[in-house]
Amino acid sequence: MAVEPPTNNLWVGNLSAGVTDSELMNLFSKHGVVQSVKSFSSRHYAFVHFNRIVDAMAALEALQGTILRGNSIKIDFVRPKAELPLPNRRSWVFVWLPIWNGCVELNPKVLAEKIWL
């Protein structure tokens, strides 16, 4: 896994299904002020948001590979959201949706997906 540029948000992976937000809060708060922890236990990862980048860097360095509930955790900086270019105006279509009694713009990629009204 490539190391991302430092941010104050960490991705924590390879978590056991039973790991809780409070366990992660206790573990990571030893390295600085943790603003929030959001875990996705069914997907075995979590996000840990620090107040300062230096604290996130310290936690990553100190905790990388730590055994937590039998698993060696993997930590990386959260990737910044990619800035997507605005679509070309010609790639948009107009669709009449009588339920809203009006005309709305939809991207063709959206049309390919199922739309539930």
Specify if 33 maps to a domain.
yes
Specify if 102 maps to a domain.
no
Domain containing 54 equals: 9-77
Specify if 70 maps to a domain.
yes
Specify if 99 maps to a domain.
no
Give the distance, in angstroms, between the CA of residue 11 and the centroid of all CA atoms in the same chain: 7
Task: Please give the tally of structural domains in the chain.
Answer: 1
Retrieve residue 5's tokens: 């540029």
Question: Looking at the whole model, is its pTM more than 0.95?
Answer: no
Tens digits of per-residue pLDDT, 76-90?
A: 999 777 655 566 655
Low-confidence ranges of the chain (pLDDT < 70): 1-4, 82-117
Confidence at residue 114, expressed as pLDDT on a 0 to 100 scale? 47
Specify if 63 maps to a domain.
yes
The CATH code of the domain that includes 17 is: 3.30.70.330
Confidence at residue 116, expressed as pLDDT on a 0 to 100 scale? 47
Closest CA to 51 of 11, 79, 9, 22: 9
**What span, in angstroms and rounded, lies between the C-alpha atoms of 12 and 19?**
11
Specify if 97 maps to a domain.
no
